[in-house]
Structure 1
């Protein structure tokens, strides 16, 4: 079993348990922990689950897969899954993979929290 570090064991915000803040590089070594954290949150079936990517500097295909799985599992029970605070480099990765057309993406967590549950996914320019 791997040793726990803050980046390796993302936890929901204490003040807002439906927000998962991530930071640093989300790669093959970290993405299983992201998947586990999302699964724990999804078990509680929040109406809206937000992943805060404002402090993420890199994400690879395994990280994208973890987010896709989280979105699918959230939508399976009727919840809404959103991403917030993508830095330009991360947004570019989502655009190249055309995932900006799949995920609800908000400029920051506060905007995502304020969005009505029936909000449609944002379209990037």
Structure 2
């Protein structure tokens, strides 16, 4: 839910500036990097959310996402079994083996809250549309 809120906010920020609303994560990050800071863990959150959201609609893509979480981010903790082991076979079924605990939720909340307008950017001043503009 946090990530989808962030996605919607990017669209609103783009609309306020009269820009085309970016449709995918890569374009959203490219757009906002001109005006907004993006936390390094936002992509990690995007990968996790996409695995949860799609649950085997595209098993190969989910495996690639899980592999990126495992290799690039080194986040074996997200796929640990109950004994704390990190077997790579867990990546073959990422949805069933994804492990999210409270500290992960808090970590992702920080990533979302840190991915917004820069405090020192006075050129970025989105204003709500008036009733006449909508």
TM-score (norm 1): 0.28
Q: More helix per residue: 1 or 2? A: 2
Greater relative CO (CA pairs within 8 A, separation 6+): 2
Larger Rg: 2
Q: More strand per residue: 1 or 2? A: 1
TM-score (norm 2): 0.27
